[in-house]
Amino acid sequence: MNYNPQSNNVGNIGDIIKHAALVELARLIQGRNPDTCINYLDTHAYLYKSPCTNNRWAGDVQLLAKKYKGYTPYYEIEQSFIQQGHYLCSSALAVKTLKDPRLFLAEKNDVTRATLANQLSEAGVKYTALKHDFKDFLNYTDTSTCGPIFGLIDPFKLNDHEWQGLWQVLSNTLNTIHNPQSDALFIVFNFSKTGTPAWQLPPNNLLNIVGVIKHAPYYLAVYATKNIAGPAQAVLNGLGWDVGEICNRQLI
């Protein structure tokens, strides 16, 4: 299993929308918890850095940045690496934006995971866990890492079976690495060629959908705890996300 389809899609518009939100929400959660180590959970991590396969990357981001100022911090972080031939992927953007985060990463492709481990080591980045499959976090029990949690859930596609697995993992991580009084934020990415996918609600009622965006075939949603829902919506609004009707379900 050497080939990873993500290698042909690095820096496309789906990545741009996802990674700009990642940078802005990371800044938000760290800003609200300035002296706290944030737990960063990347269930489908891919690499730390990779060649950019979108040669229109700069133009695509600048177009968005003209309309929405929120794209500028992402552009500024990524641009200097692009000039050196590297695109910073999600875990790298989290490392650059959060202050010494605890990294919980999973990557199923063996070659990709080995390369990711090498890249992290070369960059001097330590991680708390690097798992083979996101479902391995079902067995994670170390509650000493409890704190605010920021996550990216980024498979190529989410079918019903995968949603179920994800909610089980989220329930477990929310019970172990998340402190119930603190912020939790998750970005979820879905790819669909058959129209807007249904965004599902997590079973434990702790998280709510606070914003969605579509740029077919790329669809994203952000899930958040009540305490950070309003500030997250303000950030997403500044990136052109829809923070309207879908997001009005009351949290218990």
Ligand X SMILES: C[S@@+](CC[C@H](N)C(=O)[O-])C[C@H]1O[C@@H](n2cnc3c(N)ncnc32)[C@H](O)[C@@H]1O
Show contacts with ligand X in window 20-59 (CB under 6 A): 42, 44-46
C-alpha pair distances (Å), 231 with each of 70, 238, 242:
14, 11, 14
Q: How many residues are recorded in the chain?
A: 252
Candidates 4, 30, 119, 176: give the one binding ligand X (CB under 6 A). Answer: 4
Region of 205 on the Ramachandran plot (φ > 0 left; ψ -120 to 50 alpha; else beta): left
Q: Which is nearer to ligand X, 4 or 182 (CB)?
A: 4
The CB-of-230 to ligand X minimum distance in angstroms stands at 26
Query: Of 215 and 226, which CB lies nearer to ligand X in the complex structure?
Result: 215
What's the min distance (Å) between Cβ of 19 and ligand X? Answer: 6
Q: Which is nearer to ligand X, 41 or 174 (CB)?
A: 41
**Of these, 33, 97, 109, 173, which contacts ligand X (CB under 6 A)?**
109
How far is it, in rounded angstroms, from Cα 117 to Cα 126?
10
Residues 157, 161, 162, 163, CA torsion sign: positive
| Member of 26, 29, 97, 107 binding ligand X (CB under 6 A) | 107
Task: Tell me whether strands 218-224 and 208-215 are parallel, antiparallel or unpaired.
Answer: antiparallel
Site string for ligand X, 68-97 (x = CB under 6 A): ---------------------xx-------
**What would the two tokens of residue 185 be?**
């934020």
Q: Is 152 in the site for ligand X (CB under 6 A)?
A: yes
Among 27, 68, 133, 175, binds ligand X (CB under 6 A): 133
Q: Smallest distance from the beta carbon of 27 to ligand X, in angstroms? A: 17
- In sequence order, which residues have a C-beta less than 8 Å from that of residue 27 and are 6 or more positions away? 73, 97
**Closer of 94 and 210 to ligand X (Cβ):** 94
Taking the complex as a whole, how short is the minimal distance between the CB of residue 97 and ligand X, in angstroms? 13
Residue with Cβ nearer ligand X (48 or 241):
48
Strand ranges (E), 9-68: 39-42, 49-50
Residues 111, 2: contact at Cβ < 8 Å?
A: yes
Q: What is the DSSP string of 54-98?
A: -TTHHHHHHHHHHH-GGGHHHHHHHHHHHHTT-EE-HHHHHHHHS
Residues that bind ligand X (CB under 6 A): 4, 6, 18, 42, 44-46, 89-90, 106-109, 112, 133-134, 152, 154-156
